[in-house]
Amino acid sequence: MDDREYSNIYQIPANYTDAGKLFGGMLEVRNTVEACILVALLGYPELVWLHVPATIKIVIMVVTLMPLSVAALMGINGDSLGQFLFHVLLYLRDKRKIHMRRVGYNYEESKTRKKRMVSGFHSAEGNTKRHHRNHRRTVRKNIRD
């Protein structure tokens, strides 16, 4: 028999999961394409429409395009900017308001209060009319006296 050691342990190369990425696995293809599109959409108007000297134009482009391109290349929370924006829009469309019951609040009392307000006993118009009527009575009474 053969006394050589048999090992079924294999070393996994460091770039094993880097398939479909650019620059040695540093950048995802989707993020890179989105970054190029965003930089082109914002950079072209800055390059063509700004009528300032070249050094100032370069500074403006570095200040505006570099953070945008870095954010687009990195992505947000593992997603590309497009995916993140899509998730935000879905959240804004589908968000719900969660209502919790308040501790110590008497809900039965509030229902009767609403019924009275609907029937007109405690309506705002009724209170102001009643107030004006009572005020006129007191004014007349004071004039007579």
Per-residue model confidence as pLDDT tens digits over 53-104: 999 999 999 999 999 999 999 999 888 999 999 999 999 998 887 777 777 7
Predicted TM-score (pTM) above 0.85: no
H/E element holding 21? Answer: strand 21-22
State both tokens at 42: 């914002």
For the stretch 99-130, pLDDT in tens is 777 777 777 776 665 555 555 544 444 555 55
- Residue 39 has what pLDDT? 95
- Show Cβ contacts of residue 63 under 8 Å, excluding neighbours closer than 6 positions: none
Distance, CA of 66 to CA of 39 (rounded, Å): 9
DSSP assignment of 26-49, as one string?
Answer: TEEHHHHHHHHHHHHHHHHHHHHH
Q: Where are the beta strands (DSSP E) in 47-102?
A: none
H/E element holding 22? Answer: strand 21-22
